[in-house]
Amino acid sequence: MKFLDLAKVYLRSGSGGNGCISFRREKYIEYGGPDGGDGGDGGDVWAEAVDGLNTLIDFRYQQHFFAQNGQGGMGRQRTGRDGEDIVLRVPVGTEILDEDGETVLADITELGQRVLLARGGNGGWGNLHFKTSTNQAPRRANPGQPGVERTIWLRLKLIADVGLVGLPNAGKSTFLAATSNARPKVADYPFTTLHPNLGVVGVDGAEFVVADIPGLIEGAHEGRGLGDLFLGHVERCAALLHLVDGTSGTLLEDYETIVHELEEYGSGLAEKPRVTVLNKIDALDDEERAFLCEELAARSGGEVMLMSGASGEGTTEVLRALRAHVEAARPSAADDEDDGAWHP
């Protein structure tokens, strides 16, 4: 299935049915009076998070969603049938944006969560509603309210605990393949990863989800390379794993490039907890490892870990460091329990 994380959708809720003008006409009943029924309400348009979806590819083939109109009222005080609702089935983690592509209307982060996108029009009143002591034969009925038309954007942000960031060929996909059952494409050329991949990793009996996104290059925030739109998939992460290629001749510049792109993207990515790792140490001797680790630690101002995704050296220690950040960000069981007391 092809990965798609952005889709434009056109919506229209159902219009309400018109009220009915009708009079009771039966033999031997001299004063029948009005008996026009009300129109039915138009259908609503909803978005619902469902299980089993991890892409918006369905919205590439269908972009228009129209709810059913309400039925008009009828004589003998009969109300028209309400229009049927229509539901957009979206994956968990979908953001719903207004037509401008910036205003967030809703953020669907839980399975089964439903959001009303467009409310259907109310049905009009029949002439029975307008009967009074001075107007016992009203020839008036209300039309149904029109439905709502709007254009929205659906943007998927994957639900993951840890996000992998780094330059192309920094070893992100190799790390994901070595530590999880995910099988991303691995090759010795840049931009092997063209869409995000998810993998479940485990260490010391605990599991968490890691997201691998396409590599960033200098100027990605300006659209160079594959751009920085894929960074949206790591906005929800508790921590970032920054992989730096130890075999690169511009190691410090590579590190600064990624940090700069995170800052330019915004959304708090630069402030997230970050584990910096010197990768591909299987190609370095002990002296080179120590020298490059010291250089990178001085530039980053924090601890630098050593790892080789290809050989597996140091991966367990990196996973343990990530697990600590993930568990610190997750709510504790005590916070989830309700003690039944009211809290202001």
What domains appear along the chain, each with residue ranges and CATH number?
Answer: 1-156 (2.70.210.12), 162-329 (3.40.50.300)
Residue 169, helix vs strand vs coil:
coil
DSSP notation for 55-102: --THHHH--EEEPPPPPPPBTTTBPPPPPPPEEEEE-TTEEEE-TTS-
Which tens digit of pLDDT belongs to each residue from 269-290? 888 899 999 999 988 888 888 8
**How does DSSP classify residue 224?**
-
Task: Please report which confidence band the pLDDT of residue 224 belongs to, taking 50, 70 and 90 as the band edges.
Answer: low
Which tens digit of pLDDT belongs to each residue from 137-171? 899 999 999 999 999 999 988 878 898 898 888 88
Mean pLDDT for all residues in the chain: 86
Binding residues for Mg(2+), by number, are: 173, 193
Separation in Å, CA 326 to CA 150, 302, 309, 321: 39, 19, 21, 9
Which pLDDT belongs to residue 190?
64
Cβ-based neighbours of 116, under 8 Å, separated by 6 or more: 44, 45, 46
Q: Per-residue pLDDT for 339 more than 50?
A: no
Enter the pTM of the model: 0.77
- Residue 292 in tokens: 């490059």
Binding residues, by number, are: 166-173, 191-195, 212-215, 279-282, 308-310
Q: In this structure, are residues 143 and 81 in contact, taking their beta carbons and an 8 Å threshold?
A: no
Which pLDDT belongs to residue 188?
64
Which tens digit of pLDDT belongs to each residue from 287-321? 888 899 999 999 888 898 999 888 888 899 999 99
Binding residues for GTP, by number, are: 166-173, 191-195, 212-215, 279-282, 308-310
- Residue 165 in tokens: 């960031």
Rounded to whole angstroms, the Cα distance separating 80 from 42 reads 10
Task: Please report which confidence band the pLDDT of residue 336 belongs to, taking 50, 70 and 90 as the band edges.
Answer: very low
Which pLDDT belongs to residue 228?
65
CA within 13 Å, CB half, 90? 32
Measured distance between the N- and C-terminal CA atoms of the chain, rounded to whole angstroms: 48
Rounded to whole angstroms, the Cα distance separating 172 from 195 reads 13
Q: Per-residue pLDDT for 76 more than 70?
A: yes
